[in-house]
């Protein structure tokens, strides 16, 4: 194995500062390899497989050589359809060091949703795994510009596996030379986000922006040199690419990959990460685990003592957040309560965590207060695909319910209507090959977020509403309600309106309104007796036909987008009503408010 060398190595700063001093992700990685070749870089949870930074460099060098042999060059796009696994980091880094642009597709999406991003990115190579090989083969047939398929753990002779790809390149392939040609204004990746229209938008990321973002993170919440992270969320989202990949290697962390998120608890207990990021649903599940453990594993007296201590700790957190002194008895019991609650952090595997973050969807205040009371100061972030990270609280002053203050190099202001506008080092240059939609959101150097917010006297940002119709579930997945609704409604004459609901929830549900003409046609064809709309809409044969439409519509959607439960309403919505505009567009806010009880029943 050969390690990268450079004549101007210096020891005047630490390894993190030296990596952050580089202009590109490629150069930063090579600097980390020079500084710490023998440090474990990658681990695969549940196995003995590890790679040091030196070994990672060598494996990635061979991938770069193989891609080069396939004709991939500087600026070419390489699509990755992979779960969270060690080989992702090897493949992504190989493409990156070659000067290509690797990007990830959602592993749970159907081929019909993957195709636009593969075509739009002009990807020449698709790298996938055996569990998704059939999808990969179909994409190879459907996408004209896609030339090669690599199945990293495949066993078909006509397809390359990872070793076959690596063997294509020459033994002396000079990856330092290809990496040196990468500049700060070059693309390093893409993320495809549906927004509100359902049509995918490619968000390009420049090396300059990612390096500046990580420097801002380190300046705002300093990273230790002995970092450990768990990579478990989809790399098709910028949050995991940032925390579980880019920041992981730039900060020289030990990255543990976890392909099965249901095993997160075991991974946290084993890894004991120093930095951990989760969407709200992850924190909700960890908190539920604490409640379950107290109820099932603690004797009754111990459980009562724990809950009492937790209750007092919650009161102290609320007092501190309000800027008031806690009651005397609460202050007196602090030390004893801390001793009782102190077992939680080791139990969750978070006893060595230096920073805990949450983003991707609105986080419940009660959840965050309860976590803070357990000694887990989870810090909310604000950002989006187009701006990476915008703001977060400084670690010494976390304001629960806010998204903190802007990172260094980021500016935030509010438009006259309260819309949050963002400018600075983290903002995208514009959507890929889409000037029209770029012009809609980038105006006069400011990114128009579509979110409504406030900024308090201390400069802390709070999100209060959303201008754009977008579902962001409790796991942080962005979904277009219009696309979901159209999949269900399609050309079904029976269905007049579908309203998908799922924002900040675990899964999607729907309200369905039948079309009077379609209902009458179905009644006649089935030989049903005439009856009022309210009665006929609930007839078993009608409901069976609706169920068929929902099932067929769900087949067109990714698993996370599918409608898990629905209610067929027994009345009609008319244009220019409380539910519809004069042109029959949905009034989502009023609908969710009017039918709140029915929606809650669907989640019950």
pLDDT, tens digit (0-9, with 9 covering 90-100), for 361-374: 777 788 899 999 99
CA dist 435 to 45, 153, 223, 379, 429, Å?
43, 39, 38, 35, 11
Nearest to 484 by CA among 500, 501, 467: 500
Burial of 404-426, coded b for 16+ CB within 10 Å and e otherwise, reads bbbbeebebeeeeeebbbbbbbb
Provide the pLDDT confidence category of residue 285 given band limits of 50, 70 and 90: confident
Question: Is a pLDDT exceeding 80 seen at residue 121?
Answer: yes
Entry pTM? 0.81
Domain chopping of the chain, boundaries: 25-182+221-278, 479-603
- The pLDDT assigned to 156 comes to 67
**Residue that wins the pLDDT comparison between 120 and 467:** 120
SS (H, E, C) 21-72: CCCCHHHHHHHHHHHCCCCEEEEECCCCCEEEHHHHHHHHHHHHHHHHHCCC
Q: Which two tokens stand for residue 344?
A: 């939680």
Most confident of 65-79, 101-115, 412-426: 65-79
- The pLDDT assigned to 157 comes to 73
Query: Quick one: average pLDDT of 257-263?
Result: 93
Query: Quick one: average pLDDT of 163-172?
Result: 95
Residue 443, phi then psi, degrees to nearest 5: -135, 125
- The pLDDT assigned to 131 comes to 95
Most confident of 253-257, 259-263, 451-455, 478-482: 253-257
- The pLDDT assigned to 7 comes to 41
Q: Which two tokens stand for residue 102?
A: 């690797």
**Residue that wins the pLDDT comparison between 48 and 156:** 48
- The pLDDT assigned to 479 comes to 83
Question: Is a pLDDT exceeding 70 seen at residue 583?
Answer: no
Residue pair 25/211 in contact (Cβ under 8 Å)? The answer is yes
**Residue that wins the pLDDT comparison between 139 and 578:** 139
Q: Please state at what angle helix 540-554 crosses helix 481-489, rounded to 10 degrees.
A: 130
- The pLDDT assigned to 295 comes to 80
**Residue that wins the pLDDT comparison between 286 and 176:** 176
Provide the pLDDT confidence category of residue 1 given band limits of 50, 70 and 90: very low
Neighbours of 357 (CB within 10 A): 20
Q: Which two tokens stand for residue 87?
A: 């080989």
CATH fold of 479-603 reads GMP Synthetase; Chain A, domain 3 (3.30.300)
- The pLDDT assigned to 197 comes to 43
Question: Is a pLDDT exceeding 70 seen at residue 302?
Answer: yes
**Residue that wins the pLDDT comparison between 477 and 197:** 477
Question: Is a pLDDT exceeding 60 seen at residue 202?
Answer: yes
Cα of first residue to Cα of last residue in the chain, in angstroms, is 58
- The pLDDT assigned to 9 comes to 43
Question: Is a pLDDT exceeding 70 seen at residue 468?
Answer: no
Distance CA 228, CA 273 (A): 5
**Residue that wins the pLDDT comparison between 195 and 404:** 404
Q: What is the pLDDT of residues 27-37, one digit of tens each?
A: 999 999 999 99
Neighbours of 19 (CB within 10 A): 28
Residue pair 313/344 in contact (Cβ under 8 Å)? The answer is no
**Residue that wins the pLDDT comparison between 288 and 187:** 187
Distance CA 233, CA 236 (A): 9
CATH homologous superfamily of 25-182+221-278 equals ANL, N-terminal domain (3.40.50.12780)
Q: Which two tokens stand for residue 603?
A: 């989640």
Residue 271, phi then psi, degrees to nearest 5: -80, -40
473-477, 541-545, 559-563: range with lowest mean pLDDT = 473-477
Identify the residue whose tokens are 């919505």.
573
Determine what percent of the chain is predicted with pLDDT higher than 70.
95
- The pLDDT assigned to 151 comes to 97
Distance CA 78, CA 484 (A): 28
Query: Quick one: average pLDDT of 66-78?
Result: 98
Question: Is a pLDDT exceeding 50 seen at residue 387?
Answer: yes
Query: Quick one: average pLDDT of 318-346?
Result: 90
Provide the pLDDT confidence category of residue 8 given band limits of 50, 70 and 90: very low
**Residue that wins the pLDDT comparison between 393 and 589:** 393
| Degrees, nearest 5: CA angle 278-284-286 | 80
Question: Is a pLDDT exceeding 70 seen at residue 394?
Answer: yes
- The pLDDT assigned to 330 comes to 85
Residue 511's H or E segment, with its range, is strand 508-514
- The pLDDT assigned to 491 comes to 67
**Residue that wins the pLDDT comparison between 525 and 494:** 494
Average pLDDT of the chain? 91
């Amino acid at each position: 194995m050969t390690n990268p060398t450079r004549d101007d190595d210096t020891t005047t700063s630490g390894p993190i500062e030296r990596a952050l001093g580089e202009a590109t992700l490629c150069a930063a990685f090579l600097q980390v390899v020079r500084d710490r070749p023998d440090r474990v870089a990658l681990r695969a949870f549940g196995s003995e497989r590890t790679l040091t930074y030196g070994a990672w460099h060598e494996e990635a060098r061979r991938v770069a050589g193989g891609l080069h042999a396939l004709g991939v060059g500087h600026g070419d796009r390489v699509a990755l359809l992979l779960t969270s696994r060690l080989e992702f980091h090897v493949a992504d880094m190989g493409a990156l060091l070659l000067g290509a642009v690797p990007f990830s597709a959602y592993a749970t999406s159907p081929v019909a949703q993957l195709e636009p991003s593969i075509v739009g990115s002009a990807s020449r190579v698709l790298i996938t795994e055996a569990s998704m090989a059939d999808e990969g083969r179909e994409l190879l047939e459907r996408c004209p510009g896609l030339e090669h398929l690599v199945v990293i753990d495949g066993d078909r002779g006509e397809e390359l596996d990872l070793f076959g790809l690596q063997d294509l390149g020459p033994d002396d392939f000079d990856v330092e030379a290809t990496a040196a040609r990468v500049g700060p204004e070059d693309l390093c990746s893409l993320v495809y986000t549906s927004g509100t229209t359902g049509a995918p938008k490619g968000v390009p990321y420049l090396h300059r922006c990612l390096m500046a973002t990580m420097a801002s993170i380190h300046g705002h919440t300093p990273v230790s040199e002995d970092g450990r992270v768990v990579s478990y969320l989809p790399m098709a989202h910028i949050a995991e690419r940032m925390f579980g990949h880019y920041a992981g290697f730039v900060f020289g962390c030990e990255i543990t990959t976890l392909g099965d998120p249901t095993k997160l608890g075991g991974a946290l207990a084993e890894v004991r990460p120093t930095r951990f990021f989760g969407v709200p649903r992850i924190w909700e599940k960890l908190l539920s685990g604490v409640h379950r453990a107290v109820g099932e594993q603690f004797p009754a007296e111990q459980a009562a003592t724990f809950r009492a201590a937790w209750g007092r700790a919650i009161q102290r957190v609320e007092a501190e957040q309000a800027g008031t002194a806690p009651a005397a008895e609460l202050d007196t019991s602090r030390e004893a309560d801390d001793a009782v609650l102190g077992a939680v952090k080791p139990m969750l595997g978070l006893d060595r965590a230096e920073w805990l973050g949450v983003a991707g969807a609105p986080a419940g205040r009660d959840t965050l207060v309860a976590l803070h009371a357990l000694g887990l100061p989870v810090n909310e972030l604000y950002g989006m695909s187009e701006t990476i990270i915008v703001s977060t609280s400084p670690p010494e002053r976390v304001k629960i319910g806010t998204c903190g203050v802007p990172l260094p190099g980021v500016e935030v202001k509010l438009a006259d209507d309260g819309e949050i506008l963002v400018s600075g080092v983290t903002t995208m240059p514009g959507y890929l090959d889409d000037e029209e939609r770029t012009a809609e959101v980038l105006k006069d150097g400011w990114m128009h977020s579509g979110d409504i917010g406030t900024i308090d006297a201390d400069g802390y940002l709070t999100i209060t509403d959303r201008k754009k119709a977008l579902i962001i579930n409790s796991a942080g997945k962005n979904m277009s309600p219009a696309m979901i609704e159209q999949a269900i409604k399609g050309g079904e004459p029976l269905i007049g309106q579908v309203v998908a609901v799922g924002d900040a929830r675990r899964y999607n549900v729907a309200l369905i309104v039948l079309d009077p003409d379609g209902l009458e046609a179905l009644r006649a064809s089935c030989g049903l007796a005439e009856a009022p709309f309210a009665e006929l809409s609930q007839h078993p044969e009608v409901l069976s036909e609706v169920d068929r439409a929902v099932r067929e519509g769900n087949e067109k959607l990714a698993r996370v987008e599918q409608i898990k439960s629905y209610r067929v309403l027994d009345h009609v919505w008319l244009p220019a009503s409380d539910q519809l505009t004069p042109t029959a567009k949905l009034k989502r806010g009023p609908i969710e408010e009017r039918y709140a009880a029915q929606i809650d029943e669907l989640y019950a």
